[in-house]
Amino acid sequence: MTHVEVREPGWGLNDLLLAAVITLIIAAVALSTALYVSPGDHLEIPELQPVIRVAQERDIPIGASRLVRWGDRAILVVRLGQDRFAAVDATSPGDGCLLRWEEESSRIVSPCSYVVYDVDGSVVAGISTRALQRYPVFLRDGIAYVGRS
């Protein structure tokens, strides 16, 4: 007597596994193509990377300043107008003192050596001739960021 195996119509285990692998490959190719064609918003920032978040724009009044730390660097960020910011080193290059923003005179002052800097970092008065390092500032979705110079 011969035994004949009768196969029921439908999908077997091997067929299901093969279909699952093919589906995963197609999904992976489609996902990688979609990510390549439409990069995320963070890739559209034209300014220098990396950046540091300063604050919400509304949290810094016009004419005010904010001191931020970036590793061992201190950076003084000043809001000059509605969408205008400036950022410079917050440490005096001559004496190492932490600089202060004086809103009344719109100047940056070293309390140790009394060197006065303009908001762009250039020396206005005092014995120093070294300007402050400047940093680019930009806004994105209402948040101020400082980039590397």
Confidence of residue 33 (pLDDT cuts 50, 70, 90): confident
The CATH number linked to 103 is: 2.102.10.10
In percent, the amount of the chain with pLDDT more than 70 equals: 86
pTM of the predicted model as reported, rounded to 2 decimal places: 0.64
DSSP state of 96: -
- Quote the number of domains for the chain: 1
Q: 31 exposed, middle or buried (CB, 10 Å; 0-12, 13-18, 19+)?
A: exposed
Is residue 92 domain-resident? yes
Interval 126-135 mean pLDDT: 87
Identify the residue with better confidence: 50 or 107. Answer: 107
- Domain of 94 in residue numbering reads as 51-147
On whether residue 42 sits in a domain, the answer given is no
